[in-house]
């Protein structure tokens, strides 16, 4: 399976659990929406807005986890003129717990090498 460069960069950034690395893949005004945001950050609509909120979330996540792995099962993507979007299905494995893995679908949109919007759905 050939993945778009942005998907490879997204996977590497989150698997690094390095808040500075994670922040660099997002545009300054990016959004990141997830039910986990509601739980970890107490943001009612689950949407992070901009670098400072995304970095704060990455810091909280890195503080809670020893490891994060996204085992990509498949991706559908479309890229054109420096912009793109992808839907990625993966197994999320936290702290090496393969038995407790969760299926996740993540939808990314990007422009000029930065994620502009991310929506995460946990199953």
Q: Are 27 and 114 in contact (CB under 8 A)?
A: yes
Instruction: Give the CATH number for residue 27.
Output: 3.10.450.50
User: pLDDT digit string (tens) for 35-61?
Assistant: 999 999 999 999 999 999 999 999 999
pTM: 0.94
User: pLDDT digit string (tens) for 8-20?
Assistant: 999 999 999 999 9
Q: Which domain holds residue 42?
A: 5-122
Res 110: pLDDT: 98
Closest CA to 113 of 24, 16, 14: 24
**Domain tally for the chain?**
1
What are the residues facing 79 on neighbouring strands?
Answer: 84
User: pLDDT digit string (tens) for 84-107?
Assistant: 999 999 999 999 999 999 999 999
């Amino acid at each position: 399976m050939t993945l778009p460069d942005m998907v490879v960069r997204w996977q590497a950034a989150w698997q690094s659990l390095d808040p500075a690395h994670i922040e660099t893949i997002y545009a300054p005004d990016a959004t990141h929406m997830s039910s986990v945001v509601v739980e970890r950050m107490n943001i009612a609509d689950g949407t992070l807005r901009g670098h400072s909120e995304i970095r704060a979330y990455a810091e909280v996540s890195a503080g809670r986890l020893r490891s994060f792995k996204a085992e990509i099962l498949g991706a559908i993507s479309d890229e054109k003129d420096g912009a793109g979007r992808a839907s990625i299905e993966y197994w999320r494995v936290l702290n090496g717990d393969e038995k407790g893995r969760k299926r996740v679908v993540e939808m990314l949109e990007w422009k000029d090498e930065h994620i502009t919007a991310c929506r995460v759905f946990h199953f």
